Amino acid sequence: PPVHCDEDEAQAGGRRPTRDAAFAMDGSEEKKEDANEAMEAVEGGEAAPHDPEAVLGEAGKLLQELEQEIHAMSSSIAARIDEMGARIESLDSHVDQLMERSKAASDAVEPPGSDG
C-alpha cells in the first residue's frame, strides 16, 4: 500500500507518513494509537525519524510489552484449565458417589440372589 504524506512534506521532498496512515493498514485502533504516539515522539524531537537505535529501542519496547501480554494471557488460560480440571474431578467424584448410593439402594431393595 502507498504511504500517505503530508502535503507540505511532499512538496518539500519528504516521504514521512502521516500519523493515521503509519500503522493503520489492518484497522486496529490500538495499533493506530501506538503509531500516533510514536509519530508524536518523532515529531516532538524525542528521536530522529531515521535513527536506527531509536527504532530498535521502540521495537524492543513494543515486543517486550507484547511478550508480557502473551505471558499474562497464558497464565490466565493455564489457571482456567486448572480450574476446569478441578471441577471435572469434583463432578466425577460426585457421580461415583451417586453410583455407589444407587447401587447400595438397589441392593437394599432387591433380596440377594434375585435375577433383577
**Residue 32 DSSP label:** H
Q: Structurally, how many domains does the chain consist of?
A: 2
Give the mean pLDDT per block of 10 residues along the chain (116 residues). 47 49 53 71 60 90 97 98 98 96 85 60
- Write the single-letter amino acid at 28: S
Q: What is the pLDDT of residue 109?
A: 78
Q: Is 44 helix (H, G, I), strand (E, B) or coil?
A: coil
Contact 22, 4 (CB under 8 A): no
Tell me which residue range forms the domain holding 16: 1-50
In the prediction, which pLDDT does 105 show? 87
Residue 104 and residue 58 in one domain: yes
Residue 19, class by beta-carbon neighbours within 10 Å (0-12 exposed, 13-18 middle, 19+ buried)?
buried
**Type and span of the H or E element at 77:** helix 52-109
Of 50, 70, 90, at which residue does a domain stop? 50
CB-neighbour burial class of residue 42 (10 A; exposed 0-12, middle 13-18, buried 19+): buried
pTM: 0.45
What is the model's pLDDT at position 33? 75
What local confidence, expressed as pLDDT, does residue 25 receive?
A: 47
Tell me what pLDDT residue 106 has. 85
Are 21 and 5 in the same domain? yes
